[in-house]
Amino acid sequence: MQAEDLLGCVFPEQVACQENVEYPIAIPDHPLVKQTMRDCMTEAMDLEGLIGLLRHIEAGEVRIHCLDTVEPSPFTHEILNARPHAFLDDAPLEERRTRAVALRHVLPDDAQNLARLDPQAIERVRAEARPDVRSTDELCDLLVDLVAVRLGDLPVDVELARELVGSGRAAHVHGTDGVRIFAAERLGEIRALFPGAEVEPELQLPTQMSVDVPKAEAALDIAVRSHLSLLGPTDSRQLAECIGVSASSVAAALARLEGAGIAVRGRFESGLRDEQFCDRSLLARIHRYTLVRLRREIEPVSAGDYLSFLLRWQHVHPEEHLLGEAGLLKAIEQLSGFEAAVAAWESGLLSARVEGYRPALLDALCLSGSVAWGRLNSRSLDAGAQPSRATPIGLFARDEMESLLEAMGERGEAALRGPGERIFELLQSRGALFARELGPASGLLPVQVDEGLKELVAQGLATCDGFAPLRRLLGDSWRSSRQRRGRGRVLAGELPGPEGRWGILRPQSSTPDPERRVERSAWRLLRRYGVVFRDLLGREWVPEGWREVHRSLRTLEARGLVRGGRFVAGFSGEQFALPEAVPLLRKQRDRERDGQEIRVSAADPLNLVGILTPGSRLPAIHAHWLVFRDGLPVSAIERGQRVELGGAAVGLQSGLV
């Protein structure tokens, strides 16, 4: 079996859907192609191992079992998250079958069950669950719950146990591995668990009390559940020793209790190789104590230290600048969902984060399908408005596109008029088209196509595969002075260079998942700010509202993916942080100040003047700038004039904020 044969075996549907493709696919005889195939098939993948596995399956030496799982296997993540170039056909990304699979965050093995539990919290809960037996009546009640227990495991005085046995309310059962004590009310369960075992002394039960012998499984479930509610995290072997039955039968009982939602499986204590089980209520208490300890150990920083942290977290500080296409993609992913003026994105936001930024980098990411753009916030839309360089748009990774578009809701298509309405209907009926195709297809003049596209962009109804068409459409300052002087106003599609297809900006899914959408909004905010709290979101577009995002953040904290506590002083309400942001925040508090000044666009999400600082807000105008010194906002530049922000800086330095 050759490499090209393998492609047809693994992806038969993709190969078959291509038109005019002869199978097997012929690989060009060229040194670069051969080297690429070798690198892909032998270094990136184990082709020989895969061929061998397929041969074993064909020969019947390896059997295939189909299982239904609650979430995709980790082995499928590379396929589900594959870039468009990984597929052999040219279908749109939204039509991939992989898009129908909801890939939620899969926890690593060492954190599969909630957060990493604090050993002190585990011991505290065990001490709280351990009963305090002070009389024979309380001991009898405990034995009724536990069914059978070794004398050494009872947290009571031996004299109490002798008194209870002497009164005929309890007895001993002699098992294969020792003697256990049980209450008279559990005689039926004892006979089911230890058939034929000797009971001493013989119990004289009242005539009106009948002894029903339940099934062994039912009796064992009762005993395992009772012990589990007292021991905290434990394993099947320890439970088997306490009850006096085999470890395999206890494991089966634990599986039944897990299916009923009573027991939770996991590795709750570090250093143990075997899986443990814990009563769900006890585990919730342990987890709560763990969160309390994690929150208490964090000393909050001032708002000034947090602003200094944000400059580095968002790669605006010169020491943290990003490089190349990969760095630009990382910056856009961090800014995903934030809207800023068209003119501010390249001249202010991206160039401040990527060293040596060039428009060609953004064009390449857009045309490759990694990045998309569009107007998302419906609150600022104005019917019939025409876009300008100040029109707010958002840049985002295409992986985030669906959840962002779902949050947009329906747009008012009836507000369109003239060329905009005609182009919108054309894009709806024929799909994405190049700008040079819109004129002949719609019967509009180039200038009318230009105006129609502007209206669709202004209403958040259209986007393009590339960013250069938008740059030319709005006459952005990145275009050359020769183009500006020679032709005057430049029409869409007239200039040479990278060009993309225009299409409708709307969600593809007909059954959106609100819970998943809110969770992705929470992750976007965490990636952008590191620490999230309500007062911080003064300039953020959060369509779900803080209440829903706050609920999702609490869920992420319960999973151990997010830290909760008090990270920034001076602000009310709960705060949540990414685990990797906490040590960086502490480090920033101890960093020496060097007086370095950093200029940031007023349209940047880092413009938090009046939000994290005293005083009024600084308008998010793309032509205005904000100057930070040692992370503190000290002045604003408006129309070339520098205005000092003394009150804000003084308030931060004095620790009042």
Domain contains 621: no
Q: What angle do CA 51, 52, 55 make, to 5 degrees?
A: 90
180 plus 286 within the same structural domain? yes
Give residue for tokens 């990003």: 322
- Report which secondary-structure segment, H or E, holds 402: helix 401-408
244 plus 148 within the same structural domain? yes
39 plus 171 within the same structural domain? no
Domain contains 574: no
Burial class of 569 by CB neighbour count within 10 A (0 to 12, 13 to 18, 19+): middle
In this prediction, the residues of the chain whose per-residue pLDDT falls under 50 are: 1-18, 70, 104-115, 208, 383-384, 412, 414, 477-496, 648-657
Q: What is the predicted pLDDT for the residue at 96?
A: 62
Domain contains 46: yes
Q: Give me 193's structure tokens.
A: 């668990």
151 plus 54 within the same structural domain? no
146 plus 250 within the same structural domain? yes
Residues whose CB is less than 8 angstroms from the CB of residue 324 and which lie 6 or more positions away in sequence, other chains included: 354, 361
Domain contains 337: no
Q: Per-residue b/e over 578-592, b at no fewer than 16 CB within 10 Å?
A: beebbeebeebeeee
28 plus 164 within the same structural domain? no
Q: What is the predicted pLDDT for the residue at 481?
A: 35
User: What does the pLDDT look like over 288-301, one tens digit per residue?
Assistant: 788 777 666 667 88
Nearest alpha-carbon partner for 153 in 238, 84, 252, 56: 238
CATH number reported for the structural domain that contains residue 126 in this entry: 1.10.10.10
Domain contains 326: no
Query: Checking phi first, is residue 378 left (phi over 0); if not, alpha (psi -120 to 50) or beta?
Result: alpha
Q: Quick one: how far is CA 230 from the chain centroid?
A: 35
195 plus 266 within the same structural domain? yes
Domain contains 378: no
Q: What is the predicted pLDDT for the residue at 654?
A: 41
Q: Can you tell me the distance from the alpha carbon of 35 to that of 50, in angstroms, rounded to the nearest whole number?
A: 20
127 plus 48 within the same structural domain? no
235 plus 153 within the same structural domain? yes
Q: Can you tell me the distance from the alpha carbon of 281 to that of 481, in angstroms, rounded to the nearest whole number?
A: 70
| 3-state DSSP assignment of residue 12 | helix
46 plus 129 within the same structural domain? no
Question: Of the candidates 32, 48, 66, which is a domain's last residue?
Answer: 66
Burial class of 117 by CB neighbour count within 10 A (0 to 12, 13 to 18, 19+): buried
- Angle of the 247-259 helix axis to the 216-231 helix axis, nearest 10: 80
**Count of structural domains within the chain:** 2
Q: What is the predicted pLDDT for the residue at 329?
A: 93
56 plus 165 within the same structural domain? no
Neighbours of 264 (CB within 10 A): 21
DSSP label at residue 240: H
Question: Of the candidates 253, 273, 294, which is a domain's last residue?
Answer: 294
Question: Of the candidates 269, 294, 319, which is a domain's last residue?
Answer: 294
Domain contains 150: yes
Q: What is the predicted pLDDT for the residue at 479?
A: 40
148 plus 260 within the same structural domain? yes
What one-letter code names the amino acid at 133?
A: V
Domain contains 189: yes
Domain that holds residue 158: 119-294
**Dihedrals φ, ψ of 303, to 5°?**
-65, -35
